[in-house]
Structure formats: structure tokens, C-alpha cells
Amino acid sequence: MSTYVRHTYHRAACQAVARQWQASRAPVRLVRSLQHDVAANFQSPPLIIPPLEPPKLRLAVKANIAAFGFPTTCDSLILAGTSIPFDATVVAQLRARGMSVVGKAGMDEFGMGTHSTTSAFESVHNAPPLEAYSAGGSSGGSAVAVKEGRADLALGTDTGGSVRMPAAYTGAVGFKPSYGMLSRWGVVPYANSLDTVGLLAKTVSPIRQAIIGSGLYNEHDARDPTSLPATVRSRCTVEREGYSSAAKPPPTLKGLTFGLPLEYNIAELDSRIRQGWLRALETIQQLGGRVVPVSLPSTRNALSAYYVIAPAEASSNLAKYDGIRYGYRDTSGPSDAQDGVLYAGTRGSGFGSEVKRRILLGSYTLSSEAIDNYFIQAQKVRALVRRDFDRIFRLENPLLDEQHFALSEVDEAVGIETKLGPAQVDFLVCPTAPTTPPLLEHVRSQTPLDSYMNDVFTVPASLAGLPAISIPMDLPVDSARDEQKLLSFGGLQLIGQYWDDARVLSVAERLSAHVSSSIADNS
């Protein structure tokens, strides 16, 4: 009995414990049931990936343009180690548009040179596989930076062709805007009345987007006395086409007239460059454009006038480099005074030979015995060059009075279209450089006059302050000659009327894809 009794009590105890355990588990089962129901009815939201920021465009800056965090030496010993603690206006404007400065580009010392070989530090070589050839000057480093893909856009300065010439020698695109469009504040000056900030890229599109698409053309800089005032910019823009941010390159060139300057067909023009030029003119006609011969008689004297005006202004601008206030100072002797002249030793050893040559030339042309015969005459030639351009362009120069043809001065090869004179054009088309890039070893044996002759096609637009762009053009190639295979390109220059930059860029973008296989491949 006792055993039974003990067994009965044990069963009852187990049942009581089981009921208590089940009661304690009820909340857990309820929670699990709710979790199952929620999981069965729950739909996860779609995966949302935040949009990636567009990559910043890489900007290379010529060594004479201030960029915070980088040295600004103008590739001259006299400014070695100089860092300017602010951005030039144009650099600040491009940074604000999302560009990132990746470095400084080499150049000719103070912008004085044609092949980027007068640097106090290191000569610039062309992009592979053309390392043995000239990269052009003075903005050669900027052109090579974009050609090699180290920068998407590069800033240079164009005084007499220093952006367009490197573009022609490297197969890049180089644009010189109308004088006064882009600010020069923060740019070390060479010749104030000629210096213009220019841009280089592999194709026209990034340049057109930077200047026209982003509205850079419309920004006045009160710190730069050569920057066009806002009211004048507005008036000029109203009289021009293509400044809308939505404007696109024209599908054809129909309705546009292109001028062929007879004076640019010089004896020194390389035969392959001439053939490439003629092919480009045929392409323009195939795209619907009209090509007519024009005469610019004063351009024969443009190069001579330039090499009087530019050195004269340079001699004045470079007078401030004395080594006393900043920059390099010659301490090799007990005193840097030479023959009783303070800082003569510093300037003698701090400047390179080409800079000293131009300082001496400029100082002489400004002297009392020479100013009337040289500097004043050069300024008169400059006015005639500007007049020639204004006569042949269909659009009027918004800053000057309308110019008319003097029929007695018209070349016999130019036909008379109306009783007012020959046909007027929208753009001029000509080579950028008279030759393909020369070997650097040949450049070093050239006389200064030989180097100056390379600027013959680029100087006239600079004297007149007009927008001009150099785009690559294909040249005929003899397959049996290896050098021609390497140098299969030249530079084609497009020049427009003052403040017609938008149309110059637009037409150049359309034309470049048809005259250059390299740009067609990148399009």
C-alpha cells in the first residue's frame, strides 16, 4: 500500500509540474507565433543605393597660374620655390564647378618660347611615342598632360599662340577665348595687352562645356582690369548665337561661310600641312559650308609687330623681379651689385637667355631713340590687323565701329561679291603651325628667328584679341616613311569674330570629328 500510495503521489506531482511548465511556456509560444505571422506577411523594402557623385574632372594648371597648394614658378630660377597662397580667379571658378587640380604643368620660362625648352628646370617632351619631338610652347606641359591622360582639362596662357601651338604639335585641342572673357587675376603676366587664359583637352566638348555650358563666359572679375564688365558681356552675348546652355553643335555647316586667307599660303608651309588644309576645306564643303578666298594684307607685318609689342610689355612686367622682396637672390659673391647696379647679378643669373633677350629687345624699343620707329609703328600695324579682320567677318565687332573694304586694297584673287566689296565670312580656316613638330635636337640648333617664325599663323588673332581654336587634322602619309606614320596629324585653326566664341567652339566640335580620325575614335 505504501508503495502504491507513494506512486500515486508521485504521478500527481509530475502532472502538477507539467501544468506549471506548460503555463510558463505559453508566453514564449505566443511570441514565436506572432513572429511567424509577421515574417509571413512582411515584405522587405527595395534596396536603395544612393547615387554616386560624378567623378571630378582632373585639371592641370600651367606653372604661371596661381593654384593654392602648388608652386608657381613660371619655370624660372628667379621664382624657384615660390608658392602663391591663393587661387587665380579662373582656377577658383573651375574648382567651384567640381574640378580638382592634379598638378602644375611645365612651360617655357615666363611663357617666352615656342617649344617648351627654355625652362630653368626641365624641358617638356611630347607625349609617347613622340618623346623625341617638340611639344610646342609655351604651354607644352599642359598639352602633354591632357594628351597622356593625366588631366581631363588643362589651363594654359596664350600670348601669341602658346595654347594653340602645343595643341597642334601634340594632336590635342587648344582654345584661346576672346580677350577679356576669362579673368587674368592670379596669372603672372608676360604681355598684358595680349595674355589670354586658354584651355586644352583631347576633344572640344570639355572646353565648350567649361566655358559655355557652365556659364564661365558670363563671369566678370572686378580684380582684373582687362575683364570685360558685366554690362558689356550682356550686350555682346545678345548679339551672338550659341550661348544657351542647351545649345548643341550644328548637324551640318549649311549656311556658314569659311574664309581661306590667301596670305597664309606661305612658301615655308610644309607640303603635307598644305594638303591637310585643302582636305579640311573639302570636308567643310561636303558638310554644307561655303569656302571663299579672303585677303588680310596687314597680316604680313603681324609677326614683326608682335615681336616688338610683346617684348616691350615683358620688359616692363619683369622689372619687379629683383630678388630683394621675394624670389631667388644671387648670393655667390660678396654683393649682388654688379658695376654699381643693385640686383644686376640676381637678374643676370636668375633669368634664362631667352628671357634676357626679350627684356633687352623690349627695353630698346621703348627707349626714347627707338620708340617712334618701332613701338609706335607696331601699334599702328596692330590696328590695321584688327581692321582687316573686322572687314572680312560678317558679324560686327561689338567693341568697335563697323569697318568697310577699300576696294583698291583688295587682292586680285578675291572676287567682288557686292558693290560693297568681297564676300564676308563667319570663320577663317588656316593651319595652326607651318610644319609638323620638329625634333628636339633640331630645335636646339635653331636661331631665335627660326623659332619666332613658327608663330606666323597664330599671332594675328592674338593681336586682334579674337577667339581661335586649334583642332587636330589628318595629314597624308607615305607608308614607306616611318616619320610620316608617327607625324600623321597637324593643327587646323578656326578663327571667329570677337565674342563669337560659342559658335567657334560649336563648329569646331562638329568639324573635328570629320577632319581627325583620333577625335572621331574618341567621340
Give catalytic residue positions. Answer: 62, 138, 162
Omega into 71 within 30° of 0, i.e. cis?
no
DSSP H or E run through 275: helix 271-286
Omega into 138 within 30° of 0, i.e. cis?
yes
Which segments within 284-335 are labelled E, that is strand? 290-294
Q: Which residue has the cell 604681355?
A: 191
CB-based burial of residue 218 (10 Å sphere; 0-12 exposed, 13-18 middle, 19+ buried)? middle
CB-based burial of residue 359 (10 Å sphere; 0-12 exposed, 13-18 middle, 19+ buried)? buried
Q: Tell me the CA distances in angstroms from 271 to 110, 133, 268, 278, one per residue in order.
A: 33, 19, 9, 11
HEC-encoded secondary structure of 124-181: CCCCCCCCCECCCCCCHHHHHHHHCCCCCEEEEEECCCCCHHHHHHHCCEEEECCCCC
CB–CB of 201/170 below 8 Å? no
3-class DSSP state of 235: helix
Looking at the DSSP bridge assignments, the partners of residue 104 are 61
- Would you tell me how many other CB atoms lie within 10 Å of the CB of residue 435? 18
CA distance 488 to 478: 10
Is the torsion defined by CA of 324, 329, 334, 336 positive or negative? Answer: negative
